[in-house]
Amino acid sequence: MDKNNLFDGVIDFNNNEYKKHSELFKKIAEEQNPHTLFIGCSDSRVVPSLITKTLPGELFVVRNIANLVPPYRNVSEFLATTSAIEYAVNILSVKNIVVCGHSNCGGCRALYMADEDLKDIPHTKKWLELAGNAKKTVSGSALAARDKKEFTGKERETLTERENIKEQIKHLYSYPYIKYKSEKGEIKIYGWHYIIETGEVYNYSSEKNIYEKIDGAPV
Ligand SMILES: [Zn+2]
């Protein structure tokens, strides 16, 4: 079978994975009750259900370039990410929100590209302004802390991806209903950094202000 053929993939799914989980599909057909809102990057290498080993019905997923969360605003526009967050929290009552960034994120890398290189993607360039503070933090305070030593490209990339996750969590708290539910202990917010080549996921600890590998060790 030509694995590149999307239609063959559907047939394969029907004959195999669907059959394996047919009882589950029947059970969740009428209603979803996801426990987690997963905000991830659109990057094809990030597969939320795979890295969390979850089944259909468990994750409510919103993906966009660089896993960004626009700060809360009450405007009359078409707001895709904001609507997904609102629906997950206020209607589906998810118990967790995960903001998941990843290694080698093209969106984070594009923050450092020249305007000329972004001329064909004006909307992406505008969208990435939401990660502007992450870039500022990396370029400013993080650099100062290392005695002005220049980062390697890879170091800067990783730091930017990780600062970006923290920045988007800040944006989440600008949503009044998320702030309220978080303060009441009804919702938990996590920041994850997924490493594509190793499969490792690092969880952000706001108390320690570091990323800790999720490996089952006591924290
Ligand atoms: Zn990405």
Output the domain CATH number for residue 49: 3.40.1050.10
135 with 89, same domain: the answer is yes
41 with 144, same domain: the answer is yes
Task: Determine, yes or no, domain membership for 179.
Answer: yes
The DSSP bridge partners found for residue 128 are: none
Catalytic residue, candidates 8, 45, 73, 146: 45
3 state DSSP class of 158: helix
DSSP 8-state secondary structure symbol assigned to residue 149: P
Task: Determine, yes or no, domain membership for 158.
Answer: yes
Domains contained in the chain, number: 2
Longest dimension (CA), the chain: 59
Task: Determine, yes or no, domain membership for 48.
Answer: yes
24 with 123, same domain: the answer is no
Q: How much is the mean pLDDT over the chain?
A: 94
Residue ranges of the chain whose pLDDT lies below 70:
1-3, 141-150, 218-219
Candidates 168, 45, 20, 38; CA nearest to 102 is: 45
The DSSP bridge partners found for residue 213 are: 202
DSSP 8-state secondary structure symbol assigned to residue 117: G
Catalytic residue, candidates 8, 21, 43, 115: 43
62 with 117, same domain: the answer is yes
27 with 52, same domain: the answer is no
pLDDT at residue 148, rounded to an integer: 57
pLDDT at residue 203, rounded to an integer: 98
Task: Determine, yes or no, domain membership for 72.
Answer: yes
Print the domain residue range for 136. Answer: 34-213
pTM of the model: 0.93
CA of 20 to the centre of ligand 1 (A): 31
26 with 98, same domain: the answer is no
